[in-house]
A = this chain, B = another copy of it.
Amino acid sequence: MTPVRKAFCPPSRAGRPRSERSRRKILAAADTLLAEQGFAGTSVDAIAQAAGVSKATIYRWWPNKAAVVMEALLGAIEADFPASAGADAEEDLIARIRRTIALFRSPKGRILASLIGEAQFDPELAEAYRQRLLGPRRAGLRAALERAVAAGALRPGDLELAIDIVYGPLYARLLLGHAPLDDGFERDFPAIALAALRGCAGGATER
């Protein structure tokens, strides 16, 4: 007779529940403004106004502008993606590298760069970036590398370093701009990265 279900409804707390609608409007507004104005040109006031929301509501749920932007961006970027079914390990690796390059080349790329730029001044934002965006992508790549090692396509080694060797050049070009992320890069880099991995993976620890 006693209703059992209540015990299973932790989300039901006292007080007016958070407005999911506001949350979505805020993130949508942030996304739009970011696309139009970039990170620096997007003020919290503008987001609030565009979302038809009070500034206080934004600050109630996010500690600062960067956090909102981060979440807006995450809504527009799949943090990671599943391994291409049936593809062999190398193909999966290449696909992952290429998709990251494509992301960095897209309009989101500049926003990502802004966010990482801001993260240099905001440790919490940095942590959020690592947790929510970088982490999943690295995990995906790590799994792909493990499959490649298991398949004998790569020697075992320090996978974190291997990931850095793959992603490092992409981030460097995104953030430093010394060389373009262009068609040629998107075409050629994956194979070169794999070649590099073949040369080094495990080199430090193995033998």
CB distance A191 to B204 under 8 Å? Answer: yes
A155 CA / B134 CA spacing, docked (Å): 33
> In the complex, what distance in Å separates the CA atom of A157 from the CA atom of B191?
13
As a 0/1 sequence over residues 112 to 127 of chain A, the CB contacts with chain B under 8 angstroms (1 = contact) are 0110111111000010
| A23 CB contacts on chain B under 8 angstroms | none
Cβ contacts A to B, 7 pairs, < 8 Å: A38-B121, A138-B178, A158-B192, A161-B189, A165-B168, A172-B172, A196-B197
Instruction: Enumerate chain A interface residues (CB-CB to B < 8 A).
Output: 38-40, 113-114, 116-121, 126, 129-130, 134-135, 138, 157-158, 160-161, 164-165, 167-173, 175-179, 188-189, 191-193, 195-200, 203-205
* Besides the known contacts A120-B175, A193-B200, 16 further A-B residue pairs in the complex with CB atoms under 8 A apart: A39-B121, A116-B120, A119-B175, A130-B177, A135-B178, A138-B178, A158-B188, A164-B169, A164-B172, A165-B165, A167-B172, A168-B168, A171-B175, A191-B204, A195-B204, A199-B200
- Quick one: closest B residue to A115, CB to CB? B120
Contacts A116-B120, A172-B164; is A204 near B192 (CB within 8 Å)? yes
Q: Nearest Cβ distance between residue A34 and chain B, in whole angstroms? A: 13
Quick one: which of B40, B117, B138, B195 contacts A199, CB cutoff 8 A? B195
Q: Look across to chain B and name the residue whose beta carbon is closest to the beta carbon of A38.
A: B121
Please determine whether B169 and A165 come into contact, CB atoms closer than 8 angstroms.
yes
Compute how far the CA of A172 lies from the CA of B171 in the bound complex, rounded to whole angstroms. 6
How distant is the Cα of A199 from the Cα of B120 in the complex, in angstroms?
Answer: 33
Measured between C-beta atoms, what is the minimum distance from A122 to chain B in Å?
9
CB distance from A92 to the nearest CB of B (A): 19
CB distance from A91 to the nearest CB of B (A): 17
Q: A114-B120, A158-B192, A191-B203 are in contact. Are A168 and B177 (CB under 8 A)?
A: no
Residue with the highest number of chain B CB atoms closer than 10 Å, among A130, A161, A168? A168
Please give me the residue from chain B that is nearest to A117 by CB atom. B120
* Closest 7 A/B residue pairs (Cβ): A199-B199, A117-B120, A168-B168, A168-B169, A164-B169, A196-B200, A196-B196
